[in-house]
């Protein structure tokens, strides 16, 4: 891996034509590069209109130059930014000149990685940078920003301090074995129990924010010819699936990312679930069952002209615990009446005419907890939730050890594992493999 004494540079704005393009530079040679490009001495944190020139003094472009002196910068190093016209040619010429002056191309996420390594942010905050860039709704963006400014990290640090305090209480008795070893156990147990209560509340918020980490899966299932393809076409606004009266038309999973009331979800249309001798159709049914196992929301579609069947019960056998099932009664335009009564988990629609679709979209969003208060959500990644669950298990083990009268060394060991878990979560002791996985997901220039 390149050394972190290198000076790095990258285009920070997306590819394409635009009014503005930005190049970022970070490292010890930032000031020298600023002088060479602009022919002037930088003043820290002052925007300066300059002509950016090549080594043969030809003007590449005119724009704004900014210089930030370490440690008062995003990365904690000397940095500079070049703001020029958003031409890919101009940006390419300017970047080439910066490279010729001693910088190298930055790796994906390397600016944020340097901020992390220079203790400007912890790993949770670093991940929040990528989450903010990738956010696909207002709620996701606001929640990611809360993590970026340290709200989630502060809760983790608060918990770590409390667990450390409980560990100190237990280890104090180890340092004085001639004393009664039960003296410090009650306050330590009280401290641990309060940590468990706080952590459980934190986990609830993290689980509620799980849908912000990725597009929730909404899987459409049902018998053949109940209108599943028409439904995904209606929800997505495009002809994603072939609509045909011939049963078994859909053989593979059809996937569409859509916005429902401003919230991004991934829709899956599946093969009609039935017993079949057709090998390809049977493969499609198997894929439908696998999709059900990963679904957050299941739209169980029925042809309302045919009455009821046991499809919902058949679906329930394949869905994951916690997945929500909405019964969708389709084709009401063919029923000759309009006095249908929706319930909490059942809605009457016509995918053909659009009747009832607004109600269905609202029901999907309600089941995804989209309308919950932002204070009740934490933009959490799977890594965060797994780490918090492991810490919770270790805290529960410490309580059991105290209740069972286990030795103080054993009780303290569970708390030591908790502290390691906190440090891995925030990046104090995280392995290079984890860091590589985190920062490789970033865009270049951030």
17 and 115 inside one domain: yes
Q: How high is the pLDDT of residue 387?
A: 92
pTM of structure: 0.69
Q: Tell me whether residue 1 is in a domain.
A: no
- Along the chain (446 residues), what's the average pLDDT of each consecutive run of 10 residues? 76 89 96 96 95 95 96 96 95 96 94 93 90 77 84 92 89 62 70 92 80 75 83 77 48 72 79 60 72 85 78 73 85 83 88 90 77 63 90 92 81 90 87 77 76
- The C-alpha atoms of residue 130 and residue 294 are separated, in whole angstroms, by 24
Q: Which of 121, 155, 173 marks a domain boundary? A: 121
Pair (229, 325) in one structural domain? yes
CATH of the domain at 75: 3.30.1360.120
Nearest to 194 by CA among 183, 206, 186, 205: 186
Long-range contacts of 413-417 (CB under 8 A, 24+ apart): 415/163, 415/164, 415/166, 415/167, 415/170, 415/192, 416/167
Of 367, 400, 416, the residue that ends a domain is 367
Whether 19 and 156 share a structural domain: no
Return the sign of the alpha-carbon dihedral for residues 413, 415, 421, 422: negative
- The pLDDT score that the predictor gives to residue 170 is 81
pLDDT score at 316:
77
Q: Is position 135 within any domain?
A: yes
165 is a domain residue: yes
The DSSP string of 59-122 is: EEEEEEEEEE-TTSSSSSS-EEEEEEEE-HHHHHHHHHHHHHTT-EEPPTTHHHHHHHHTTSS-
**From CA 430, how far away is CA 420, in angstroms rounded?**
10
Same domain? 222 vs 191: no
Residue 441 domain-assigned (yes or no): no
Distance from chain centroid for Cα 269: 24
Expressed as residue numbers, the domain containing 276 is 217-367
Q: Tell me if 442 is assigned to some domain.
A: no
d(CA 329, CA 309): 11
Total Cβ atoms within 10 A of residue 246: 8
Q: What does the alpha-carbon distance between residue 233 and residue 351 come to, in Å, rounded to a whole number?
A: 8
Residues 108 and 131 in one domain: no
End-to-end CA gap in the chain: 18
pLDDT of residue 309: 65
Instruction: Say how many domains are in the chain.
Output: 3
Residue 221: strand, helix, or coil = strand
Residue range 223-257, pLDDT digits in tens:
888 888 888 888 887 665 544 444 444 445 677 88
Instruction: Decide which of 101, 121, 141 is a domain's last residue.
Output: 121
Q: Judge if 296 and 334 occupy the same domain.
A: yes
Residue 246 shares a structural domain with residue 332:
yes
Regarding whether 288 and 238 lie in a shared domain, the answer is yes
Residues 362 and 236 in one domain: yes
Q: What is the predicted pLDDT for the residue at 119?
A: 92
CATH code at position 223:
3.40.50.300
Same domain for 237 and 352: yes
Tokens standing for residue 286:
């198997």
Quick check: is 431 in a domain? no
Pair 177, 276 in one domain: no
**Cα four-point dihedral sign 372, 373, 374, 379:** negative
């Amino acid at each position: 891996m390149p050394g972190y004494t290198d000076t790095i540079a990258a285009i920070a704005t997306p590819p394409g034509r635009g009014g503005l393009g930005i190049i970022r530079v970070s490292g010890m040679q930032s000031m020298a590069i600023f002088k060479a490009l602009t022919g002037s001495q930088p003043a820290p944190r002052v925007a300066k209109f300059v002509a950016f020139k090549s080594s043969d003094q030809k003007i590449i472009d005119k724009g704004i130059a900014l210089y930030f002196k370490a440690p008062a910068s995003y990365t904690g190093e000397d940095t500079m930014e070049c703001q020029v016209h958003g031409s890919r040619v101009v940006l390419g010429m300017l970047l080439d000149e910066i490279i010729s002056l001693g910088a190298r191309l930055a790796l994906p996420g390397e600016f944020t990685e340097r901020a992390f390594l220079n203790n400007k942010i912890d790993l949770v905050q670093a991940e929040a940078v990528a989450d903010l860039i990738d956010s696909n709704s207002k709620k996701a963006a606001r929640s990611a920003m809360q993590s970026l400014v340290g709200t989630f990290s502060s809760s983790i640090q608060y918990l770590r301090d409390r667990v450390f305090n409980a560990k100190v209480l237990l280890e104090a008795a180890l340092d004085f074995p001639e004393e009664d070893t039960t003296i410090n156990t009650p306050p330590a147990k009280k401290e641990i129990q309060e940590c468990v209560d706080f952590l459980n509340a934190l986990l609830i918020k993290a689980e509620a924010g799980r849908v912000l980490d990725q597009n929730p899966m909404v899987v459409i299932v049902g018998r053949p010819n109940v209108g599943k393809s028409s439904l995904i076409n209606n929800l997505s606004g495009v002809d994603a699936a072939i609509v045909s009266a011939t049963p078994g038309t859909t053989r593979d999973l059809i996937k569409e990312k859509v916005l429902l009331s401003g919230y991004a979800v991934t829709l899956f249309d599946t093969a009609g679930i039935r017993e079949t001798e057709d090998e390809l159709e049977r493969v499609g049914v198997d894929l439908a069952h696998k999709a059900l196992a990963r679904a957050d929301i299941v739209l169980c579609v029925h042809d309302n002209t045919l009455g009821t069947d046991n499809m919902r019960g058949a679906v329930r056998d394949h869905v994951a615990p916690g997945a929500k099932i909405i019964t969708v009664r389709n084709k009401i335009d063919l029923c000759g009446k309009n006095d249908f009564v929706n319930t909490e988990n059942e809605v009457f629609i016509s995918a053909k005419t659009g009747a009832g679709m607004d109600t269905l979209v609202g029901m999907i969003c309600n089941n995804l907890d989209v309308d919950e208060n932002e204070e009740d959500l934490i933009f959490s990644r799977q890594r965060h939730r797994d780490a918090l669950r492991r810490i919770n298990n270790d805290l529960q083990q410490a309580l059991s050890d105290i209740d069972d009268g286990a030795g103080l060394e054993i009780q303290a060991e569970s708390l030591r594992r908790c502290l390691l878990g906190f440090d891995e979560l925030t990046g104090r002791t995280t392995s290079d493999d984890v860091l590589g996985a985190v920062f490789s997901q970033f865009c270049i220039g951030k």
